[in-house]
Amino acid sequence: MKPFELSRIDLNLLTVLAALMRERHVSRAAERLNLGQPAVSHALARLRELTGDPLLVRQGRMMEPTERALALMQGLGPALEQIEATFRAQAEFEPERAAPVFRIGLTDDLQIAMLPRLLRALGAEAPRARLVTLTVCYRNAAQHLDDGQVSAVMSFLKDLPAGAKVRKVRTARFALLRTDTAAGKISLDDYCRRRHVLVTYAGDLCGTVDETLGALGRQRDVAFSVPQFGSLPAVLAGTELLATVPEHVAQALSAQGGLRYEALPFESPSYQIKLAWRAVTDKDPAEAWLRKAMLRAFGD
């Protein structure tokens, strides 16, 4: 058998394969690489000829990898990331001149409370930078980080990929949102009597606050659940419904007008918001700058 020669491979083809494996879509892979779609399609054709395998096959609107493609990326993925990290670490980052494409994952609450400040910082300090934001939750944040869809996530985090870096951002607590004009603050009895809207990624009718109330021997009436905090102004408008949300969301939404927020009539539970990033980007000057900007936009 003729020995394999590395010189036969254009390493640019491997970066195309990595992008296709992440995006599972030719157009999105082209966007990630700042290439035209024909160039990515041509590179895929060359990869198929080189390996003798289709590598990715169309299933509906997406492309699914073959077993050969999965095996290739298991070995090549970490190597490509290390090569990229090595070269990036040697370059200085000049935010006012550079034109990076950043990809981050944020939960819905942080898109409301933190993202506008981050965008203003990017506009002022890194005007040529572009930012792609993916919506994540505690259930999928680690997966988005692990498979390279994003380089950093800010969220309540349970599990993290092996080797990921993490930093605590702040301790979050809950507050009350309402639109009615009744004078005075809500009492615990009124809180339990009135109907509530719950924001939940899981699509259920109970959450952390209900566990806290249960420990007090109390129960609230959760009548509705919605998947996003951004819908609350419209949902609450003109009603006596209450919404218990993270305090940073209450502050951001009430600042837009039409909503009022106040402290809960009982001790609020708390949770940790953390920033996690891929270890391979730890020494990347551009990514390090972005993480500092994220912390400035939302840190304590």
- Express each pLDDT in 40-86 by its tens digit: 899 899 889 888 899 999 888 888 989 998 888 887 777 777 666 66
pLDDT, one tens digit per residue, over 142-167 is 888 888 889 999 999 887 877 789 99
Amino acid identity for residue 85 in this structure? A
Amino acid identity for residue 258 in this structure? G
User: Domain boundaries in the chain?
Assistant: 6-89, 102-300
Give me the CATH topology for the region 6-89. Arc Repressor Mutant, subunit A (1.10.10)
The CA dihedral of 103, 108, 114, 117, to the nearest 10 degrees, is: 70
- Can you give the pLDDT at residue 208? 92
pLDDT, one tens digit per residue, over 101-132 is 999 999 999 999 999 999 999 999 999 999 99
Strand partners, 27: none
Q: Which of 166, 170, 138 is nearest to 248 (CA)?
A: 170
Q: Please state, in angstroms and rounded to a whole number, the distance separating the CA atoms of residues 236 and 66.
A: 48
Amino acid identity for residue 136 in this structure? V
Give the angle subtended at the CA of 132 by the CAs of 129 and 137, to the nearest 5°: 140
pTM confidence score: 0.72
Give me the CATH topology for the region 102-300. D-Maltodextrin-Binding Protein; domain 2 (3.40.190)
Q: Which of 178, 174, 190 is nearest to 236 (CA)?
A: 178
The CA dihedral of 5, 11, 17, 18, to the nearest 10 degrees, is: 120
For the cut 60, the answer to whether the pLDDT of residue 5 exceeds it is no
Q: Please state, in angstroms and rounded to a whole number, the distance separating the CA atoms of residues 200 and 17.
A: 36
For the cut 60, the answer to whether the pLDDT of residue 287 exceeds it is yes
Mean pLDDT of 213-232: 96
Question: What is the percentage of the chain residues whose pLDDT exceeds 90?
Answer: 57
Strands 165-178 and 195-199 turn out to be: unpaired
- Can you give the pLDDT at residue 85? 63
More confident position, 97 or 174: 174
